[in-house]
Homo-oligomer: A and B are copies of this chain.
Amino acid sequence: MTEPNNDLLPEGLEDRLPREAAATTRVMRAIQDVMHGHGYDRVLPPMIEFERSLAARMDGINQRRMFRFVDPASLRMMALRSDHTPQIGRIAGTRLAAAARPLRLCYAGQVLTIKGDALDPARERLQCGAELIGADNVAAACEVVAVAIEALRAAGARGISVDFTLPDLVDTLAEKAFPLEPQQIEAVRRELDTKDAGGLVDAGGEAYVPLLYATGDFETAIEKLAAIDAGGALASRIAALRAIAGALGGAARLTLDPSERHGFEYQSWLGFTLYADGVRGTLGRGGTYRIAGSGSGEVATGFSLYPDGLIAQVADGESGADSVFLPLGHDRDVAARLRSIGWRTVAALSETDGAEALGCTHVLAGSEPVKL
């Protein structure tokens, strides 16, 4: 039996080396600056909590995906967070319960899961996002979607697109327009998920078939959705989607997939997914929801970004920053002045230190950096 190599990292965990770490710093700062600018206050919950505390506010998030362990101090189970959202809900519902609503909070940090997924084996990911607590109206949705887009753009994303969905669509239609027996609802949802028109008819959901075609480019799809005769049951939702699209005014490419539920099982009337050109998979998602756990069940609107794919893209496009080599005996005041105007400096520590070997683009000659 050979000794395990102590230098190996566990599967799904990685070091970010200088190039990617620099891109990480820049992307995370840019996203946070946009959220801050729109009045979202950052909060910093701990990396670990009691498992029950996270689980109680994690409707629909699989707590079996969390790293869990016994706290030697309390002998209770703790978990590493796999999502910031329940922590933000806890803070809003406890220490900030008396703060004025709507309450704007944001967060940025790592989340960990015991397993990656098929597309992305990472078990540690960055997550940042904003939550607007106490509001889930059209104005709240407009703001949250706009802030998400602006944050991604500021972080370097190009060709951003937003795919809207109406997570409670089937419930709404079943109640107000196209009645279904309780046992039919789940079958209709399932057939819509698989986009199977024949299956929908078999499940007694013939009236729901046109929903399968009200997808794609927003303007076209919303017309098709509006054409579905539902006795006005969808009128307010359609008006809301149009208001949001109008408010975004071309900031992103918009699409609609009104019956999409994957990932939106706990959203209320609105869900959206964010994409950008050249970034595989989703960059984030959001929507309106009701905070799970203790009592109140406040309404909220928010988004979560998973910027790792964007960070990789930004890092690829990066040329290293200029830096100036400071020879032995350089003038320290000159070096300090250069740093104060944005230069990076790399000081020689011995005769053998060389500017080029250390990756410098310039060398200090007298009081000026000279390009190598």
A interface residues with partner B (beta carbon < 8 Å): 4, 6-18, 20-22, 24-25, 29, 32, 36-39, 41-50, 52-53, 56-57, 67-69, 71-74, 76, 78, 80, 87, 90-91, 93-96, 100, 102, 104-105, 110, 112, 114-115, 123-124, 132, 135, 137, 139-140, 143, 293-294, 323, 328, 339, 343-350, 353, 357-359
CB-CB nearest in chain B for A104: B346
CB-CB nearest in chain B for A116: B73
A134→B219 CA distance, assembly (Å): 61
Pairwise interchain contact A6-B124, C-beta atoms closer than 8 A: no
CB of A340, distance to nearest CB on chain B (Å): 9
Pairwise interchain contact B42-A22, C-beta atoms closer than 8 A: yes
A16-B45, A37-B343, A71-B114 known, 20 other contacts, Cβ within 8 Å = A4-B52, A8-B53, A10-B73, A10-B78, A11-B73, A13-B48, A24-B44, A36-B344, A37-B345, A38-B346, A39-B358, A47-B47, A48-B67, A48-B124, A67-B78, A80-B80, A100-B358, A137-B350, A139-B350, A143-B347
Pairwise interchain contact A357-B12, C-beta atoms closer than 8 A: no
CB-CB nearest in chain B for A20: B44
Pairwise interchain contact A21-B41, C-beta atoms closer than 8 A: yes
Pairwise interchain contact B22-A349, C-beta atoms closer than 8 A: no
Report chain B residues within 8 Å CB of A48: 10, 13, 67, 80, 112, 124
A18→B294 CA distance, assembly (Å): 22
A18→B94 CA distance, assembly (Å): 14
Pairwise interchain contact B50-A140, C-beta atoms closer than 8 A: no
CB-CB nearest in chain B for A54: B6
Pairwise interchain contact A39-B74, C-beta atoms closer than 8 A: no
CB of A243, distance to nearest CB on chain B (Å): 13
CB-CB nearest in chain B for A136: B349
CB-CB nearest in chain B for A360: B39
Report chain B residues within 8 Å CB of A18: 41-43, 105
Q: Which 3 residue pairs are nearest across A and B when measured between Cβ atoms?
A: A18-B41, A69-B69, A16-B44
CB of A363, distance to nearest CB on chain B (Å): 13
Report chain B residues within 8 Å CB of A349: 102, 132, 135, 137, 139-140, 143
Pairwise interchain contact B13-A46, C-beta atoms closer than 8 A: yes
A8→B93 CA distance, assembly (Å): 12
> Are A345 and B38 CB-contacts (below 8 A) given A6-B56, A46-B9, A50-B6?
yes
Report chain B residues within 8 Å CB of A74: 10-11
24 contacts between A and B (CB under 8 A): A6-B53, A7-B90, A8-B50, A9-B46, A10-B49, A10-B71, A10-B78, A12-B73, A15-B91, A16-B45, A17-B96, A18-B41, A21-B41, A39-B345, A39-B347, A46-B124, A48-B80, A67-B78, A68-B69, A69-B69, A100-B359, A132-B349, A135-B350, A139-B328
CB of A357, distance to nearest CB on chain B (Å): 4
Pairwise interchain contact B114-A72, C-beta atoms closer than 8 A: yes
Pairwise interchain contact B38-A347, C-beta atoms closer than 8 A: yes
Q: Which of B17, B104, B339, B357 contacts A43 (CB 8 A)?
A: B17
CB-CB nearest in chain B for A44: B16
CB-CB nearest in chain B for A143: B347
